Structure 1
């Protein structure tokens, strides 16, 4: 229904074909800024836009979109047309109309950029027409066709095959189910158990805060308790109560008692800072 309304709207606006001299006179007025003359030139070629757009009706893009893009190309042509050259506006505008339509077809086919140069866009459209006729899609293209296209557009057969597969397979939503039997989506397959960059940054920030809190708290402990804590928790090779006792001339049970007291003191000293920083120690 939308396509029909667009077509009807274009037909209602379309004016009769202009004569050569009338067209030139309007073009000169349009160059001087006469918007009415410009509009008349555009309206007189709307039927021509429809004719060009119909050539791409098998592109998979709605006809209304093709016509609208064709009109965009026509407007560009009208504003660049030189009436002093011995050429009709339709001849000049045809390239602009086709280029605008082709560019839209390529861009609308995928969110990922498919083609950049004019040759690549032409190859895309050629492949689109050929694969449209093949039920099996890109893999059904014969080696002969692939070779001919590769030679014509100065590329490799591998590139032709790869682009042909892109042409036949439209973008798929990550929220789409993998199959009718399972509710799992493609997005579920992309999930990772690894920490996100945001989580890594948050953890590093917490480590920095904890390190600063602990350093300040340790400095408030008596020297013996600082020594015990550092050698029990801040060295690669954790010392035993007995080995620390020998260095401090204490029994291992006394070292254990001092460690417990020191840990309780550290907890009391760091707890307010942890609460302020909203850090939870599990």
Structure 2
């Protein structure tokens, strides 16, 4: 359905701010209007009815995406993922159950955003179980104030979310952690300045066998990545390099969609297919 409907996106509208203004201009539906459109879509597969249901709820996706601004991911990409969830909700919505679409759609919108965050945010590697994922997405809202959690408060949160107190405290530490430069600043003249690299050296690393092993591993990884990139077509290689191998800020799905003249969802599909192909190629070099 998402490939046949024409819907506004930040890339087609011009910017994220313009997109938000645009979706807020779509009129809200009454319950009777919503039910009539849902019936026509379910009964007759009327895509125009589905489009009206979707665009009238795009502002809901924007509102939900704002709640995940603290994860450091592009809002445009979060909104795109949420829109996919909204389309899935419209496809599955049954007006006979007596529930408004917004209530039904919130689950699908959040589910798509959660999956996107879990795929892309490095700190979430701790969240390997369902309970830990629930902790990941609820800890901030459950904390009282901005200070560190007290053991008693962490214990209460752990009981509510069915995880251990230590897991709560570890997740909070990951949220509150900040980056530390591995090497000292080049203009640092203080002999007592702290740099983690000073404390990471190992005597074993200077052994010739270890040095050779490390060099071989680096060469193998570099060769594997080069071969994997070479196995891709030009467009796929451009997308992977822009999304994952670029220094500094990565390019968003919408930026690439605008560059290639396709939808952001199509860029995401190409990216996933390219990553799978690269993984197979790199494994064959090991």
TM-score calculated relative to the size of structure 1: 0.55
RMSD (CA atoms): 3.8
Residue correspondence of structure 1 range 79-118 to structure 2 within 5 A? 79-110=91-122, 113-118=125-130
**Post-superposition offset of 1:91:** 1.0
1:146 maps to 2:154:
yes
Aligned residues, how many?
192
Residue correspondence of structure 1 range 44-123 to structure 2 within 5 A? 44-110=56-122, 113-123=125-135
Aligned to 1:178: 183
Q: Which runs of 4+ in 1 moved over 4 A?
A: 129-133, 188-191, 197-200
Task: Report SS of the residue matched to 2:15.
Answer: helix
Aligned to 1:33: 45
Q: Greater relative contact order: 1 or 2 (C-alpha under 8 angstroms, separation 6 or more)?
A: 2
Runs of 5+ consecutive residues of structure 1 not aligned to the other structure: 201-282
Contact 1:70–1:97 under 8 Å retained in 2:
yes
Distance in 1 separating the partners of 2:216 and 2:21: 59
**Post-superposition offset of 1:151:** 0.7
**Which residue, out of 109, 125, 150, partners 2:137?**
125
1:9 maps to 2:14:
no
Q: 1:141 and 1:28, CA in 2 relative to 1: closer, same or farther beyond 3 A?
A: same
Aligned to 1:248: none
Radius of gyration: which is bigger? Answer: 1
Runs of 5+ consecutive residues of structure 2 not aligned to the other structure: 1-9, 218-286
**Post-superposition offset of 1:199:** 5.6
Contact 1:45–1:90 under 8 Å retained in 2:
yes
1:196 maps to 2:213:
yes
Q: 1:38 and 1:11, CA in 2 relative to 1: closer, same or farther beyond 3 A?
A: farther
